[in-house]
Amino acid sequence: MFSREGILSLLISVPGLLLAITFHEFAHGYAAYLMGDRTAKYDGRLSLNPLRHLDPIGALCMLFFRFGWAKPVPINPYNFKKQRLGIITVSLAGPFANFILGLLSCIIFYLVAFFTEPDSNFGIFILEVLRYSTIMNTGLMIFNLIPIPPLDGSKVLMEFLPPKAKYSVYRYERYFGIILLLVVYLGTLTPILSTLQGYVLSFYEFVSYKLVMLFM
């Protein structure tokens, strides 16, 4: 059973989750559009409506494990003006969007913390929402950079593989997806991912603190 604090923590983390997933997938679709592919647009995925991008299992993993994924945006790489560059750009666009959102959330967190009354209930609520937004965006970014299909990192890696190896990866992609679910469930990668997340969060805090000091 969840405690009252646990349920409250989950509820507060929902805005950050929706923000992270929505902008991650929107960035994929918009990058594809800029590279010449309109598949995502025709599919209605150039949208900031979170319901168009949610993957139920991936969202639950984000809520409970702080690492997860969204519903993949459909793309047709044959429409890209430069196919290899297009695939790499589109694959990295989602994690990059999360990196920017995580940093912005952290900066705003520091601004609110410095200029809000410490005993303000509203201020505390906003701080918690921003804190979880920072964590969710960082988690989604790091997890999707793992070079295991079908995550974004694997698509970048495959562009540097020999054709035969690339074909083998695509052929067995569904099995890699099952392996990925098992790895998430067993927590095999959690220590590594948590360590990487800690480094990114430390960078966010350093930048945010330096920026806030400029306003003091």
Q: What is the pTM (predicted TM-score) of this model?
A: 0.88
Which pLDDT score is estimated for 103?
A: 97
Indicate which residue of 5, 25, 159, 173 is catalytic.
Answer: 25
Rounded Cα distance, 104 and 22, in Å: 16
Which pLDDT score is estimated for 26?
A: 95
Which pLDDT score is estimated for 3?
A: 66
DSSP state of 45: -
Written as six digits, the tokens of 88 are 């790499």
Please, is 99 exposed, middle or buried when counting C-beta atoms within 10 Å of its C-beta (0-12, 13-18, 19+)?
buried
Residue 205 annotated among the catalytic residues of the structure: no
Contacts of 96 (CB under 8 A, 6+ apart): 27, 141
Which pLDDT score is estimated for 204?
A: 97
Mean pLDDT by 10 residues, the chain (216 residues): 68 87 94 95 90 83 73 91 94 96 95 78 86 93 90 91 81 79 80 93 94 80
Contact between 17 and 54 (Cβ < 8 Å): no
Residue 93: closest CA among 26, 187, 37: 26
